[in-house]
């Protein structure tokens, strides 16, 4: 049950994704207890909440990554441009290109920098020849703010980059297949403050080009990078609204307790 959805009609922009009454079970355990959320194109959405509240679980429902966990079961409705992503007609490989994901720990493939980026476009047949693939690789690395650092070493292994560079490589890899939504699960938690600042800057630049959802434990980060924040607690989405409003004037006591550091 979700009785706390914040009324955001005043600032409504086109919805990219919408979830209705989404529940996730791991075996008998209910990890997400009925979440309704609308994710628009123009804003970065942050998911916050104490450890174990279901942020990653819910994020994974948005591109069906939970399909890879045998005990996980998802109910309810999730749409992308109005299309039910759990419909049997949905091509999951295609879906995960449209809704890309960046993980907590950078996970470049043990391949060259070039091949890390070219991998998706090759699978999806996005380039007709080598020149076009080169252009996609360059553009993706440019967008991810990594081009200047790697343009002379595209043949080096992706795993030989620094942690922050690897994370930008993973973002470039997601971008390369021309996604509509990018999901990031604590993308900076393994990075130092300088690399973190670069990723945050990048999120600002990507805003509006893709719908972006970021899970973060860091409330300052949520305040810096997002315009919408959803607060999760024990599988419920307790509150969802404009980031500035949620942090300065939360409607729910649980949100207030969390953002003032009373628990979590």
Ligand X SMILES: Nc1ncnc2c1ncn2[C@@H]1O[C@H](COP(=O)(O)OP(=O)(O)OP(=O)(O)O)[C@@H](O)[C@H]1O
Q: According to the binding rule CB under 5 A, does residue 19 interact with Mg ion?
A: no
Between residues 19 and 56, which has the closer beta carbon with respect to Mg ion?
56
Q: Are 117 and 173 in contact (CB under 8 A)?
A: yes
- Closest of 200, 255, 205 to residue 222, by C-alpha: 200
From the list ligand X, Mg ion, none, partner contacted by residue 250 (C-beta under 5 to 8 A by kind)? none
Q: Tell me the closest approach of the beta carbon of residue 39 to ligand X, in angstroms.
A: 17
Q: Tell me the closest approach of the beta carbon of residue 210 to ligand X, in angstroms.
A: 22
Only segment of 55-63, 106-114, 143-151, 226-234 that touches Mg ion (CB under 5 A):
55-63
Residues 126, 177: Cα–Cα separation, whole Å: 8
Element of type H or E holding 97 = helix 92-98
Among 6, 19, 45, 56, binds Mg ion (CB under 5 A): 56
From the list ligand X, Mg ion, none, partner contacted by residue 244 (C-beta under 5 to 8 A by kind)? none
Count interface residues toward Mg ion (CB under 5 A): 1
Between residues 48 and 202, which has the closer beta carbon with respect to ligand X?
48
From the list ligand X, Mg ion, none, partner contacted by residue 63 (C-beta under 5 to 8 A by kind)? none
From the list Mg ion, ligand X, none, partner contacted by residue 109 (C-beta under 5 to 8 A by kind)? none
Only segment of 25-33, 52-60, 192-200, 224-232 that touches Mg ion (CB under 5 A):
52-60
Q: Tell me the closest approach of the beta carbon of residue 26 to ligand X, in angstroms.
A: 3
How many Cβ atoms are within 10 Å of 158's Cβ, its own excluded?
Answer: 24
Query: How is residue 157 annotated by DSSP?
Result: B
Q: Are 34 and 21 in contact (CB under 8 A)?
A: yes
From the list Mg ion, ligand X, none, partner contacted by residue 54 (C-beta under 5 to 8 A by kind)? ligand X
Q: Are 64 and 83 in contact (CB under 8 A)?
A: no
Q: What pairing do the DSSP bridges indicate for beta strands 211-215 and 44-48?
A: parallel
How many Cβ atoms are within 10 Å of 118's Cβ, its own excluded?
Answer: 23
Query: How is residue 39 annotated by DSSP?
Result: E
Write out the residues near ligand X by the rule CB under 6 A.
26, 31, 49, 51-57, 69, 71
DSSP 182-209: EEEESTTTTS-HHHHHHHHHHHHHHBTT
Residue of closest CB approach to Mg ion: 56
From the list Mg ion, ligand X, none, partner contacted by residue 51 (C-beta under 5 to 8 A by kind)? ligand X
Q: According to the binding rule CB under 5 A, does residue 66 interact with Mg ion?
A: no
- Closest of 105, 14, 38, 97 to residue 63, by C-alpha: 97
Between residues 53 and 97, which has the closer beta carbon with respect to ligand X?
53
Between residues 55 and 98, which has the closer beta carbon with respect to Mg ion?
55
Between residues 56 and 255, which has the closer beta carbon with respect to Mg ion?
56
Dihedral of the CA atoms 90, 174, 194, 145 (nearest 10)? -140
Which residues contribute to the site for Mg ion (CB under 5 A)? 56
């Amino acid at each position: 049950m979700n009785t706390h959805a914040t009324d955001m009609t005043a600032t409504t922009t086109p919805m990219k994704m919408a979830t209705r009454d989404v529940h996730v079970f791991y075996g008998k355990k209910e990890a997400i207890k009925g979440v309704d959320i609308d994710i628009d194109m123009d804003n970065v959405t942050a998911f916050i909440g104490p450890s174990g509240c279901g942020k990653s679980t819910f994020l994974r429902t948005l591109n069906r990554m939970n399909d890879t966990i045998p005990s996980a079961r998802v109910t309810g409705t999730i749409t992308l441009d109005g299309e039910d992503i759990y419909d049997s007609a949905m091509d999951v490989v295609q879906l995960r290109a449209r809704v890309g994901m960046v993980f907590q720990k950078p996970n470049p493939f043990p391949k060259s920098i070039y091949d890390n980026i070219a991998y998706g476009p090759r699978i999806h047949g996005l380039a007709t020849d080598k020149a076009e693939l080169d252009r996609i690789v360059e553009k993706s690395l440019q967008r991810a703010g990594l081009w200047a650092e790697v343009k002379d070493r595209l043949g080096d292994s992706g795993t030989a980059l620094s942690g922050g560079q690897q994370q930008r490589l993973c973002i470039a890899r997601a971008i390369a297949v021309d996604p509509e939504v990018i999901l990031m699960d604590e993308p900076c938690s393994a990075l130092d403050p300088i690399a973190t600042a670069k990723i945050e800057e990048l999120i600002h630049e990507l805003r509006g080009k893709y719908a972006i959802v970021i899970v973060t434990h860091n409330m300052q980060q949520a305040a810096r990078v997002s315009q919408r924040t959803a607060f999760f607690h024990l599988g419920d989405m307790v509150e969802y609204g404009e980031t500035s409003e949620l942090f300065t004037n939360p409607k729910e006591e649980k949100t207030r307790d969390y953002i003032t550091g009373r628990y979590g």
